Every structure is written in C-alpha cells, then in structure tokens.
C-alpha cells in the first residue's frame, strides 16, 4: 500500500514521493506491469491515442500504452526517474502535475499508475479536466497486493524492530483492499468536485504472481517505507523477511487486484 505520513495527506509527503528515484533501475526492473486487459480497455474507451501519463516514474505503464499504439507524454517530478524513462524511449517533462504547464496541449486520456496519491486530488482532477478533450478518459489505477500471512507478519515484525514509530499491529486486521478504500474515496471525491466528469467507475483486475525469495527482496527496497532508510538498516529488514520466505520453502504467491478509478470528460 502507498505509505505516507497521513492517510489523507499523502500528496504533501514530497520527500517520500520523490525518493523512488534513488534506484530507478531497480524500480523499473522489479515493479510489476499492469494488466493488459485494463490497458486495452482504457485505450478502447478513449477517443484517440494521445495519452498523458501523470507521475510516470520510469515509464512502466507508459511503455504498455505505447505498445498498445498510443503516443505518450510523461510528467514526472523526479529527474532521476524521468531520465530513466527517456532512455527507454519515453518523452517526459519534469514537473509536479499541479505545477506543470500544458502549453495549450490536450489529450485523449490522462492516466496515473500508482501515482495519484502523491497528487492533490482536487487540483489534480481540475488539471486533468483542463487538458482532456471532450469525451477523454481519466484513469487512475493502483496495484493492491495481499501477501500470505506469514510474509505479512514477517514484514511487520522487522519493520517494528528497525523503523522507529512503525504502526503496531494491535489495530483490527483488515484486507489490503479495505486499507486502500480511503485513498480511493478521496480520489473519487476529487474527480466529482472538478464538476467536469461523468460518473466515477471502479474496475477490478485480479491476478497472481509467484515470487522467489530473491525476487521479492529485490523489489522490497523500492517501497516508500524503505527508500529513505539509512543504508545500515536495510540489510536487517531484508534478512528478516528473507528468513521467513526461506521457512516457507523459498517463495510465495502474491495475490494482486489492480483497481482503476475512471471517468469521462464531459
């Protein structure tokens, strides 16, 4: 789940939002792509092929839209991530979306892949409405992942030991999807408040991925909870989680649901 200083103020956590470029190559290598069925549906339900990818990062989703026949422009606040995306063939402008100058350009779709929680939901939706052509589609999507209980418990135990102030697990247990609900509600409210979109739809795509121990430990340092850890602390986190995965036989199956919030520009 996106990690932030406050469940309702993640867009203000700029230090964390712009920390992912510390290892852009690892981020691009280990973060999973998005379901092809979702990409294809966004393209099919947009009036044309011009896509603006907000918070494009290293270009994981942008390259999928390019492969689907779209022309993509990325907007990314982290110059390191933008530089990586450019080297992979993406046109990227470095700016926060709220401050970005569209210079009169308009698009058939505005998308944000695991990025909209770093953007002011009201100002972001208003800016999206400004740059979308009539009938254009706004699509905001996130991966929600649910590891096996033993892996989740290992993460929590190690984080509590290494990271001062990490929340305790005394709170009632809820599913990962339930944990995202406040984020989705805030994003949907921002779209409605813009007054320029039709009804907000929610699309779900369920899938699974098997991770070996090494594959999961390779991805872990790209999470917001770990990108700002002191260098000496990261090995302790990885060792603790790795031991739990070893005890399970060296790998596990992660359950994912990719959720898209989407609406059409009136």
Summarize pLDDT for 78-111 with one digit per residue, the tens. Answer: 999 999 999 999 999 999 999 999 999 999 999 9
Domain definitions of the chain by residue range: 5-147+167-208+255-265
What is the layout of strands, in order, in the sheet containing 50-54?
A: 91-94, 71-76, 50-54, 107-113, 132-146, 251-264, 201-212
- Cβ–Cβ < 8 Å for 241, 217: yes
Whole-number percent of the chain with pLDDT over 70:
88
State the average pLDDT over residues 118-124.
96
For the cut 80, the answer to whether the pLDDT of residue 170 exceeds it is no
Instruction: State the pLDDT at residue 95.
Output: 97
pLDDT at position 19 is 61
Separation of alpha carbons 125 and 119, rounded Å? 9
pLDDT digits (tens, 9 = 90+) for 31-85: 999 999 999 999 999 999 999 999 999 999 999 999 999 999 999 999 999 999 9
Rounded (10°) CA dihedral 99, 83, 26, 65: 70
Using a 10 angstrom Cβ sphere, with 0-12 exposed, 13-18 middle and 19 or more buried, the burial of residue 30 is middle
Predicted pLDDT at 5: 35
Q: What's the mean per-residue pLDDT of the chain? A: 90
What pLDDT does 217 receive?
A: 95
The pLDDT value recorded for residue 262 is: 98
Residue 1's pLDDT band (boundaries 50, 70, 90)? very low
pLDDT number for residue 12: 55
Q: Which pLDDT belongs to residue 159?
A: 82
- At 158, is the pLDDT very low, low, confident or very high (cuts 50, 70, 90)? confident
* pLDDT(3) > 50: no
What's the rounded Cα separation, in Å, for the pair 251 and 228?
Answer: 26
Quick one: pLDDT at residue 17? 46
Main-chain dihedrals φ then ψ at residue 56, nearest 5 degrees: -70, -15
Determine whether 81 is exposed, middle or buried from the number of CB atoms within 10 Å of its CB (0-12, 13-18, 19+): buried
Q: How confident is the model at residue 7, as a pLDDT?
A: 43
The class that CATH gives domain 5-147+167-208+255-265 is alpha beta
Q: Please, which pLDDT band fits residue 168 given cuts at 50, 70 and 90?
A: low
């Amino acid at each position: 789940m996106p990690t932030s200083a406050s469940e309702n103020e993640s867009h203000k956590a700029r230090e964390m939002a712009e920390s992912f470029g510390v290892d852009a190559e690892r981020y691009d290598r280990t973060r999973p792509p998005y379901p092809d069925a979702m990409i294809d549906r966004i393209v099919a339900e947009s009036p044309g092929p011009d896509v603006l990818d907000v918070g494009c990062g290293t270009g994981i989703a942008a390259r999928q839209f390019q492969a689907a026949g779209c022309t993509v422009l990325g907007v990314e606040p982290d110059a390191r991530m933008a530089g990586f995306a450019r080297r992979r063939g993406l046109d990227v402008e470095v700016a926060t979306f709220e401050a970005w100058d569209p210079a009169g350009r308009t698009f058939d779709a505005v998308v944000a892949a695991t990025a909209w929680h770093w953007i002011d939901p009201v100002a972001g939706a208003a800016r999206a409405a400004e740059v979308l052509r009539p009938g254009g589609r706004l699509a905001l999507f996130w991966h929600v992942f649910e590891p096996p209980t033993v892996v989740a418990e290992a993460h929590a135990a190690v984080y509590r030991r290494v990271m001062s102030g990490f929340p305790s697990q005394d709170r009632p247990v809820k599913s990962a999807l339930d944990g995202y609900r406040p984020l989705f509600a805030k994003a949907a409210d921002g779209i409605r408040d813009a007054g320029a979109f039709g009804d907000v739809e929610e699309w779900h795509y369920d899938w699974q991925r098997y991770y070996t121990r090494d594959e999961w430990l390779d991805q872990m340092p790209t999470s917001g909870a770990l990108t700002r850890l002191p260098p000496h602390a990261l090995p302790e986190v990885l060792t603790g989680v790795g031991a739990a995965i070893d005890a399970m036989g060296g790998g596990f199956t992660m359950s994912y649901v990719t959720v898209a919030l989407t609406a059409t520009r009136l």
